[in-house]
Each structure stands twice: as structure tokens, then as C-alpha cells.
Amino acid sequence: MAAAHPGILKSACALDGMEVRTASGKRLGRVFDLRLHTDARQAPAVTAIVYGSRGLLERLGLRHAKPTSIRWERVRAIEDRAIVVDDDKSARPPGS
């Protein structure tokens, strides 16, 4: 994804609860967590978003199964309180 305009997101917390949908409009769920890459020499970078019912269950500590996530590279836009992702290979199947 291209660099976001500084006024769009003040922090990664702004992504929490956003709807996730494909470019064709299919609703995938809501964001419940983020996966980050951390390195002492660089600022943390979002690598994936966790969404949907499995993401919620993990967030609540009720399920230890791998949550549904999508790589950040698949994000195409953040608009209208929604994260828009590629239709192609948009979700990683559980266990992959």
C-alpha cells in the first residue's frame, strides 16, 4: 500500500474495529488485532491484520486456534471506515 496521507491515520489504533472488505465489496469482518514487525533500529511496521470471528475469539482469550488474517501488502485502501483488500488471495485459510 502506498504511504497514507498523514491526516488519515493518527495511529495503528485507528484501524481497530474497522470493517474489512474486498475491492469487489465482499464483507470479511472487522479488525480485532494487528501483527507487527519490530526491530530496535526501525519503527514498528504492520505486517498483517487479524479480523473476523476467529480474531475476536482470540482477542477475548476464548479460542487458541489460529485467527483469520490478511497480509498488509494486500491492503489497497483505507476509506469510509473500511479497509479494502485485494479480491485475489484476500484471506489466509486457517492453518496456512
How many residues appear in the chain?
96
What pTM value is reported for the model? 0.70
CATH number of the CATH domain containing 49 = 2.30.30.240
Per-residue pLDDT of 47-88, as tens digits, reads 999 898 777 777 777 767 678 889 999 999 998 889 999 987
Instruction: Confirm whether 5 is domain-assigned.
Output: no
Identify the domain containing residue 61 by its residue range: 12-85
Q: Is residue 1 part of a domain?
A: no
What pLDDT digit, counting tens, does each position of 4-29 carry?
444 445 577 788 889 999 999 999 99
Judging by beta carbons within 10 Å of its beta carbon (0-12, 13-18, 19+), is residue 38 exposed, middle or buried? Answer: exposed
**In this structure, is residue 52 part of a structural domain?**
yes
Confidence of residue 89 (pLDDT cuts 50, 70, 90): low
Please check whether residue 63 lies inside any domain of the structure.
Answer: yes
Confidence of residue 2 (pLDDT cuts 50, 70, 90): very low
Q: How many domains does the chain have?
A: 1
**Does residue 7 sit within a domain?**
no
Asked, for residue 50, whether it belongs to a domain, the answer is: yes
